[in-house]
Amino acid sequence: MNGFVVDYLEHIIPVSFILKMGDEEKKIGRENPRFTVDLKKNLDKKEMLTSTSLSLGEAYMRGDIEVDRDLYEVLNCFMGEMDKFTADKSALKKLIFTSRSRKNQEREVQSHYDIGNDFYRLWLDETMSYSCGYFKEEGDSLYQAQVNKVDHILDKLSLKEGMTLLDIGCGWGYLLKRAAKEYGVRGVGITLSEEQYQKFSRDIEEEGLSDLLQVKRLDYRDLKKSGMEFERVVSVGMMEHVGRGSYEEFMENVDAVLKDRGLCLLHFISALEEHEGDAWIKKYIFPGGVIPSLREIINILPDYHFYTLDVESLRRHYNKTLLCWRENFNLCRDKIIEDKGEEFARMWELYLAACAATFQNGIVDIHQILISKGVNNELALNRVV
């Protein structure tokens, strides 16, 4: 059995397990083994030292790695040790540090969100919400959690009938549709995804919301020259696509369209410290994606006279959301394999299970930051809960 592989896996997996290669088995660790890792093909030393996540992730996608317990349970045992993973930044430079040009970022966004509405419809809930839900009650369904999340955001924004609301990175539009129907606001959503734009456009027409809502294929960097103004701005799950070095430009554009005393809510996956991102995720799931740290976003806000009113973590809610998505995904796995192949299905299940484990272990977090442009003394005294 390959001594390097044994030593390396023992280094990054803090629990006891069985490593199997062909007819050989080796127990690693002193406690009762928690699971068995079956290597159908030996792991390449150079690949492991270049990127642990790429090497293990690609091996799992190919079927070269199998585990005898639930994938999430296995990943949850060691994703908290990701700081021990190897990443050769020099060798991975082109993958990790991609261009923040408009053309490239549009291509990166579309590579993920334009896989197809039919694909996402298979495992998202009826709202087509592709962001963290909010489980107010233990028994809340995924659908109810997504409705809760949107209502939680809209409550924080203190909406009133007739107000104007901009959604930067509006997805398939559920938040704006609910804001229009429940509060009577007039809203604009912007996205770079053609699939999202087409569906949201159809929904606006079919649901009779043309007098209140519109959706635009627009880069956030074009907001400051758009001439538009809003009393409220929201952005859910979009700042992860902005890229380190462009957060100031993002806030400049929010500032340009947000009226004085207006409110903005930023909802984004966050990190405790600044990090370039995971190589496997960047290659196969979110090209160019970078998770901001909470502090780097908070520190930018005073430069634009933005007052921080509230910061809330939804980390455990995202763990639960991802596990719901994975359950739905696996219920339609045969259909996904038929449409897109076994390797694609293994890749996406790994993505959903691994992300759930990283939230559970605190490798990543998710925060909602509520800010005002200048001082706003007209808001309720008590926090929205």
- pLDDT at position 385 is 80
Mean pLDDT in runs of 10 for the chain (385 residues)? 89 96 93 96 95 98 97 97 94 92 92 94 97 96 98 98 98 98 98 96 98 98 97 97 96 98 98 94 95 97 97 98 98 97 98 98 97 96 88
- pLDDT at position 384 is 85
Query: What residues act catalytically?
Result: 355
Kindly state the helix (H) or strand (E) to which residue 90 belongs, with its residue range: none
- Mean pLDDT for all residues in the chain: 96
Which of 273, 300, 278 has its CA nearest to residue 289?
278
- pLDDT at position 124 is 98
| Spatial contact of 352 and 330, defined as CB atoms under 8 Å apart | no
Backbone angles phi, psi at 169, to 5 degrees: 80, 60
Two tokens at 289? Answer: 């994606």
- pLDDT at position 2 is 83
Backbone angles phi, psi at 361, to 5 degrees: -95, 5
Q: Give CA–CA dist 254/303, Å, rounded.
A: 13
Query: b/e string for 24-36 if b means 16 or more Cβ within 10 A?
Result: eeeebeeeebbbb
According to DSSP, the β-strands at 306-313 and 365-373 are antiparallel
| Spatial contact of 233 and 260, defined as CB atoms under 8 Å apart | no
- pLDDT at position 200 is 98
- pLDDT at position 1 is 61
Query: b/e string for 362-379 if b means 16 or more Cβ within 10 A?
Result: ebbbbbbbbbbbeeeeee
